[in-house]
Structure 1
Amino acid sequence: MPWTYERIEKLKQLWDEGLTASRIAAELGEVTRNAVIGKAHRLGLSGRMASKSKNNGISIIRKKRINVSRSQKVIDISPVIDEPMNPTSFQDIKDGLCRWPLGEPEEIDFKFCGRNTNEGFVYCQAHHKQAYQPLSKVRERKKIKKKFRIS
């Protein structure tokens, strides 16, 4: 339905009364809320006042959120060492000796741990504990690292 003079006057009247665009659209009929808003804008009708507070003059004090850090669990990452390392070269490494790398592979004096391992494992008890951590410990460690990471 086109905007007739009567409909525009009715829109202005309802707008001045403070009705919402949805309510005006319902009163006028066959117009959408967006059509009312667009027409009001084109007519240069004044912007709406911010809605009045419903607290009737009573000031509301909001509680502040307090961040309380939970106590951190201490993660024991110290290896259990019951025998000294026996640095072993690549040529001398054999089954039953720990294959944990010591140093960088491209270095001349690159060695492996060389401690005795349990049957069927490639690392000694200490290095096995470092290499195969429960997923929960890995997640905890990541959280701690993330907490102290510099952005």
Structure 2
Amino acid sequence: MKIWEPQNPAVVDELTAMWKDGKSATEIAAVFDGATRNSVIGKIHRLGLGRPRRAARASLANPRVKKPRAIRAPKPRPVAAPRPAPKPAVVIDISHARPWIERSARQCAYLLDDDRACCAAIKPGSSYCAGHHSLIYRPTSSADDLARSLRKYA
């Protein structure tokens, strides 16, 4: 076995000759003691060696002539359903606003700024007044909406 010294000109010449003879990087690494397949590939890359191009395949030398395809008219795009009119903006009265600490349990917990809460009367079953509840919570979607959205990605 020969010692792998990638800077040694004799090793580089032998490596180049073996590579041009068509030996694989694994076969070259087996000849040199201390060489790995990756070190051989790295040296070949740094030397700028490449495999010679193979002869063109017979199928590429005699390409088949394809029949011209008929040009199809583009499919008409479906007309999108008109969007529903947006809901009118909810007007929220913040005249009840006071510091968060002064809020009682039956007052809106929506924070307006650093330390003030809305403090209007809460909507039953919520921690917020009707106006802030409509801002925070989205209605749940129906099973049909879920099935339709899943079909889109199937």
Please give the range of the TM-score, normalised by the shorter of the 2 chains. Answer: 0.3 to 0.5
TM-score using structure 1 length:
0.37
TM-score using structure 2 length:
0.37
Higher relative contact order (CA 8 A, sep 6+): 1
